Each structure stands twice: as structure tokens, then as C-alpha cells.
Amino acid sequence: MKQRIITGSICAILFIGCLFLMDTIVFALVLSIMAAIAVHEVEKAVNLKNVPIMILSLALSVAIPVLAHFNVNVPIAAVGGIYVVLIFIFMLIQFEKTKFEEAVTAIFASVAIPYSFSLFLVFRDINERFSSYTKIDGIFLILFACFCAWLTDIFAYFVGSKFGKHKLCPKISPKKSVEGAVGGVVGAVLLNVVLLFVFKKFFFQDGTGLTYVSVIIMSVCLSVISMFGDLAASTIKRNFGIKDFGKLLPGHGGIMDRCDSLLFVLPVLYSLVYIINLF
């Protein structure tokens, strides 16, 4: 417990520090490194040993957030097609030690994970995509996503440890409880309301389209989504017989262990923002 709290506190401080550099290339590089580590953790979990596939997939993982930072328009269909073909060529070259599912995992992980991380940069520049949003709205959305993911996990952990009696998904994650899940959602909702109050009072100088009702509804939805992300990661670990994806963060595991729920929350939040701005 103590180690978990210390590591979590250090990570929170580092994350806040990165936010002060979010308009610089440093922020994008941090996201690139995190994405590459997370992808490597997933590839290690499935026992991928094909070095060319690993190098190519990690290179793409690093590139995606950097390209998002510079807002580079990439012909996705063409680049994606070549990327998939190269992965399968490398699979065929080393077919004796490369399974099809390992190659597919590398493709999926190296696209989905860095894409989710790069959404931090999309939210940062949300005012350039949607005229109804400001730069401050983007900062709020970044913090809002993190609150939905990480506060849900924190509150679920402590409430579940104290009051948990009914198992949520015993075959996937035996320690998770229904009481913890409810506590996680309620805790995230309450602190997201506080977050909006603080931003309305001190940062939204010209007002905002975000309302308490919309924040509460989105908080509930995204908190539930974050738990699905956590359970999905637990399912992968159970399938491959591992406790954690990595050991980089003492008490937490690896980058994937700490960011699994966030990787679900970010794309769903962006989808909600996109849909709302269609009307």
C-alpha cells in the first residue's frame, strides 16, 4: 500500500509537470516514450520474439504522438496498408517463431495505444478543431479524462477494500467488488464537479459550454468505460498468465497497468466531444 501511494504521488507530480510543457515537443516525446513502453509491454505479454516486428511497431508508436504534435496529415490508408504488409512479411521471414496472433497484436497495440495517448495533444489543441472550444476547455478535458480514469480506480480501490462484499467479475479480477465500482463512479463524479467549479471560477474567463449536468453524465459514462478498460487489461493478463504488464512503476506494474483505463477513456471522450459538435 505504502509503495503504491508513493509511486502514485510521484507519477502525479511528474504528470502535472508535463502539463506545464504541453505546448512543447517535450510533452509529445513523453507521450511517445510512454506509448512505446506500453506497446513493448503488450508484445512481451504475448511472447513476441520477432525483432523486426518489434522495432517497426515501436517506431510507429513513437511516431504517432510526434506527428500529432506537429499536426501532420498522414495518408492513413496508404501508410497503414504498407505497415500491415511489412509486419506480415517479417512474420513470414521468421515464421518458425512468430505466430499470427503475435503479429496481429503488434499491429493493434502499436496503433491503438499511441493513438489514445496522442489524444492528449488533440484535446490540447481542441480550439483549432472546434470553434466552440477554447484552449482552457482543452486543458479541462485533459484533466477531466484523467480524473475519470484514475480517480475511478483510486476510489474503487479504497471503497472496495473497506466495504467490498459482492464480487464484480470474480473470474477476471477477484479483488474488484460492486461496492468498489459504485464508489469509484461516485468519487469521480464528485471530484469532476469540483474540477468544473474551479475552472468556472478561476479559468473560464469568457464562459464555457460545459455544464454541471453534462459533466455529471459524462463522468458516469466514462467512469464505467474506465472500469471496462481495467477489466479488459485484466483479461489479457489472465489469458497470458501474468500478474502485471511490467515493473516500471513499483506497486502499480507497468505503463499499461497504470494507463489501461485511460486508453479507453480518451477515445470515448473525444468521440463524445465530436458528436456533440455535430449538432
Query: For the chain, how big is the Rg over CA atoms in Å?
Result: 19
- pLDDT given for residue 163 in this prediction: 92
| pLDDT (mean) for 120-127 | 96
Identify the residue whose cell numbers are 449536468: 213
**Could you count the other beta carbons within 10 Å of the beta carbon of residue 236?**
17
Q: Is 238's pLDDT higher than 70? A: yes
Is the pLDDT reported for residue 1 higher than 70? Answer: no
In the chain, what percentage of residues exceed pLDDT 90? 82
Residue 253 per-residue DSSP state: B
How confident is residue 276, by pLDDT bands cut at 50, 70 and 90?
Answer: confident
- Residue 241, C-beta contacts closer than 8 angstroms, at least 6 positions apart: none
**pLDDT score of 207 more than 80:** no
CB-neighbour burial class of residue 72 (10 A; exposed 0-12, middle 13-18, buried 19+) = exposed
Residue 87 contacts residue 48 (beta carbons within 8 Å)? no
Kindly state the average pLDDT of the residues 28-54. Answer: 97
Tell me what pLDDT residue 277 has.
84
pLDDT of residue 195: 97
What's the pLDDT at 120?
97
**Confidence band of 107 (pLDDT split at 50, 70, 90):** very high
Between CA 72 and CA 210 the distance in angstroms is 29
For 75, residues 6+ apart whose C-beta sits below 8 A from its C-beta are none
Decide if pLDDT at 208 tops 80: no
pTM confidence score: 0.94
The per-residue pLDDT for range 52-100, each reduced to its tens digit, is 999 999 999 999 999 999 999 889 999 999 999 999 999 999 999 999 9
All three cell numbers of 128:
483549432
Sorting pLDDT into bands at 50, 70 and 90, what band is 205?
confident
Contact 64, 115 (CB under 8 A): yes
Element (H or E) spanning 224, and its range?
helix 212-239
For the chain, give the number of residues.
Answer: 279
Average pLDDT for the chain: 94
Judged by average pLDDT, the poorest of 67-71, 154-158, 206-210 is 206-210
What is the Cα–Cα distance from 203 to 206, expressed in whole angstroms?
9
